[in-house]
Chains A and B, each alone.
Chain A
Amino acid sequence: LCSAADLQKDLGEMVKKDKVVVFMKGTPAQPMCGFSNAVVQILRMHGVDDYAAYNVLEDQDLRQGVKDFSNWPTIPQVYFNGEFVGGCDILLQMHQNGDLVEELKKLGIQS
């Protein structure tokens, strides 16, 4: 119970440490799931290369912990400036309707 509480506290710090944070299956170089791969590709299209990616397949506690943290049941999960943005579908729709460019601008990232 104690370590679960610690993890929630750590997650609060992990999502704030970098402007863009992704929890995914696999790594940006080797995504292990189509949805995680879609997030990597969308970020790449917008020239976002410098982001923190955490592989939930390497850590079962992290896999469950991040779902509890965001109250979101699926992986991948994307955070901008410490705020939960959504999963693959939301990022894709933000890419399609232009919102993603605006949000990245707010982070100081020109796509």
Chain B
Amino acid sequence: PSRPVEKAIRTKLTNSLKPDHLEVHNESHMHAVPPGSESHFRVLVVSSQFEGLPLIQRHRLVNEALKEELSSCVHALAIQAKTPEQWGSNPS
């Protein structure tokens, strides 16, 4: 199936944060939404752009990149934002 929202999330985070590693998980099936929905996501973003930034600033960068999706179809977005160093010592 084509997953336009998942694809958009991937593209936008890739373009704005140049991640070393990026995971986009559609977790909508775990919620009370119709099959095939793209409403609940979890992202793991590993980027050197997070270095020296407190957690809240990192999350703001992710939220900003996905502003359009968050104001329309995406109801929930769980964010893990790590530096390459943090990712190296704890890859989860």
List A residues at the B interface (Cβ < 8 Å).
Answer: 33, 35, 71-74, 84-90, 93-94
Contact = CB atoms under 8 A, between A and B. Distances in A.
Given A35-B76, A89-B78, A89-B79, A73 B59 contact: no
Tell me the interface secondary structure of chain B in the complex: helix
A86 B63 contact: no
B18 interface: no
B67 A86 contact: no
Nearest to A86: B56
Interface residues of B, number: 13
A90 B76 contact: no
Given A85-B56, A86-B55, A86-B56, A73 B76 contact: no
Given A35-B76, A89-B78, A89-B79, A73 B55 contact: no
A86 B76 contact: no
Contacts of B67: 73
